[in-house]
Structures are given as structure tokens and as C-alpha cells.
Amino acid sequence: MQIKLNHAVYAFTVFFLCGILSCNKNIHTFGKTKIEKSIDSIYLKQRIAEIKSLNTDVFAKGSFKGAGDTPIVYRLLKPKSTNRKLPLVIVFHGSNAVGNDNTSQLGILAKLFATDEIQAKYPAFVLAPQFPSRSSNYILDQKRNVLTSAPQPCLTTALQLVDSLKNTLNIDEDRIYLIGFSMGASSVINALSLKPNLFAAGISISGIPQFDKVKTLTSIPIWLIHGNMDTENPFNSDEKFFEEVRYNNRTRFWEFDNLAHNDIFAPAILTDELPKWLFKNKRK
């Protein structure tokens, strides 16, 4: 089954987003960029709706029981050709998809990587595990006076699943990537902290980072994306995290001005900007 989007809408969003980025001339591969122009367009809303409406049948169903007591279910997209080693993109969902229906986790990020446009340019396995409970919990970091996140047992099970898939799929182990939104973004930083030698890069969109293992992340490219009007997962946690991890010069931070928690999708994920950045990186 092929997944095709309205090419006029896709072309428009590429043009529109490129216009936004060109208006923010200080955007770099790494470092901090404040993107001041927000998006409010019927074309971009249509793009989001099209991605969300994509058929989930291209993702095969699976379940996995690791060393813990609670199994997890997952979906796996395999590229059209697996004759050569290909990257693995792992997509962590937000708290609204917690459960075991093995469908709710297939949100806009997972489906973005399943589109013909993205698979043609960036072929990859796409893994979307569904957590039966929260994968990351938040507490106040008394020293920094910001929220910090802590990984939960089901995240460990998901990482065991990744190790298992490496033994059965033709995965390029130097190109295993993480991406997530909200709780899933927090889990991205948690996973990088737990197994820094496993991943090539990670993208955290509107998450709460983990601070206690910042020094283990010195060689991992990380892209933080956050709206500075986010009150659900406060922006200042990522801001503080960037201050502490930026010394390695491999962290990218996009601050979107006047965008709240759920508004971040419009400018952040509509084109191939996310896979393009991820696929530039290989594990060192």
C-alpha cells in the first residue's frame, strides 16, 4: 500500500516553511534559534489533516515482553526494499496515547515517516511502541527550579525491543534515531541518557529533559523544539537543559515564539526538515 499526499499542499508547505526559515537567518545546524514568525494557514492545517488521515495498515502489529513483567505492543513500518542496511527511526508518543490498543500511538510523527515523500528520500524502518503506562514522569529539580523527567520501566522494555529488532532486521546500527512529542520527547532524552551508545541522534519536541546524566550526552546530536508559550511542559526546562548541554556544540534548539504546547506541530514537522537533520548524523 502506498501513501501519497496532496502534492500541491506538500509543495506549498515546503515553500512556506522555507520562507519562515529564510526570515530567520541565524538558523544553524547546532546552537539556538528563535523563530518569530508563526503559521496560521488553511494549507498547513490541510497538510496536518492529510498526514493524520493516512492508513495505519502499512505498520505491522507486534508485541514484545522483555525482562520486566509488562509487555508492550508496537507497530513497525518496513521500507519497500531491505536489501541493504537502513536506519531505524523510533517514535515515542505522548501521554494521550498510553494504552494497549496498538493504534493510538500512530500519531502525526509516526505517519510522517510513512509517507511516500519521506520514504523515497529517507527510507527507514519506523518503530512506534505503545506504552501501557507513562514512560516518563516529572518532578521538580530543586537545584535548578525547573521540571526534570525520570524514565519509567516500560521505557526500558522498549529499549530491549530495539535490541531484539537489531538481531532480526537489516538495521544500520550506526543510524538509530529517536523522535518524540510531549511525554515522548521526554522519553527521547531519557533513552539517550540510559543508552547513549545506542543512538545516533534524537529530536525532542515539547518535552521535559533529564538533567542527572547530561555529561553522558556529550557526543550525541540533540535537537530541541519548544514553543515559549508552552505551559503544559514548561519551556524553561528545555532552556535550562540547553544551557547545560550546549558546551558539546552538538545541540540544536529551536524556540518558537508565541506557540503553546499543541501548536508546535504546524511549523515543526510539515516537511522533510526532521528526517533531513536526523539522517545527517551517524553514531560515533
Q: Please write the tens of the pLDDT for every residue from 252-261.
A: 999 999 889 9
What number is the average pLDDT over the span 31-40? 75
What number is the average pLDDT over the span 125-137? 98
230 with 172: CB under 8 angstroms?
A: no
Write the DSSP string, 26-44: T--SSEEEEE------HHH
86 with 172: CB under 8 angstroms?
A: yes
C-alpha grid cell, residue 121? 528520500
Helix (H) and strand (E) counts in the chain: 9, 11
C-alpha grid cell, residue 234? 514548561
Secondary structure letter of residue 104 according to DSSP? T
Helices (H), 53-195: 108-112, 116-121, 153-166, 183-194
115 with 52: CB under 8 angstroms?
A: no
C-alpha grid cell, residue 180? 518524540
What number is the average pLDDT over the span 25-32? 67
Q: Phi then psi for 202, rounded to 5 degrees?
A: -150, 145
89 pairs with which residues across the strands? Answer: 126, 177
| In CATH, 7-278 is 3.30.460.10 | no
Instruction: Name which residue leads in pLDDT, 146 or 5.
Output: 146
On the question of pLDDT at 112 being above 50, the answer is: yes
On the question of pLDDT at 280 being above 50, the answer is: yes
Residues 6+ apart with CB under 8 A from 7: none
Write out pLDDT tens, residues 52-94. 889 999 999 999 998 877 899 999 999 998 899 999 999 999 9
Write out pLDDT tens, residues 214-247. 988 878 999 999 999 999 999 999 999 999 987 6
Check: pTM over 0.85? Answer yes or no.
Answer: yes
Mean pLDDT score across all residues of the chain: 88
